Amino acid sequence: MALAQVRCPDCNGLNVVKYGKQPNGEQRYSCQDPRCERTIFLLNYRSQPVAHSMRTRIIELALDGADPFAIAEALGLPENEVVMVFQQMSRLTTPPAGVRNRKITQTKIAAG
Ligand SMILES: [Zn+2]
Q: What is the pLDDT of residues 49-66, one digit of tens each?
A: 567 778 888 888 988 999
pLDDT for 3 beyond 50: no
Q: Is residue 103 part of a domain?
A: no
Single-letter residue type at 11:
C
Gap from CA of 106 to ligand 1 centroid (Å): 11
Mark whether 34 and 53 lie in a shared domain: no
pLDDT for 104 beyond 70: no
Handedness of CA 107, 23, 74, 37 (dihedral sign): negative
Q: Is residue 26 part of a domain?
A: yes
For residue 44, name the pLDDT band (cuts at 50, 70, 90).
low
Mark whether 11 and 31 lie in a shared domain: yes
Mark whether 54 and 90 lie in a shared domain: yes
Gap from CA of 89 to ligand 1 centroid (Å): 18
Mark whether 39 and 59 lie in a shared domain: no
User: Of the candidates 6, 29, 31, 5, which has an alpha carbon nearest to the alpha carbon of residue 19?
Assistant: 29
d(CA 39, CA 35): 10
pLDDT for 101 beyond 50: no
- pTM attached to this predicted model: 0.39
89 vs 34, higher pLDDT: 34
Gap from CA of 32 to ligand 1 centroid (Å): 7
The parent domain of residue 16 ranges over 1-43
Structural domains in the chain (count)? 2
Q: Is residue 112 part of a domain?
A: no
List the alpha helices (DSSP H) in the chain: 52-63, 68-75, 79-93
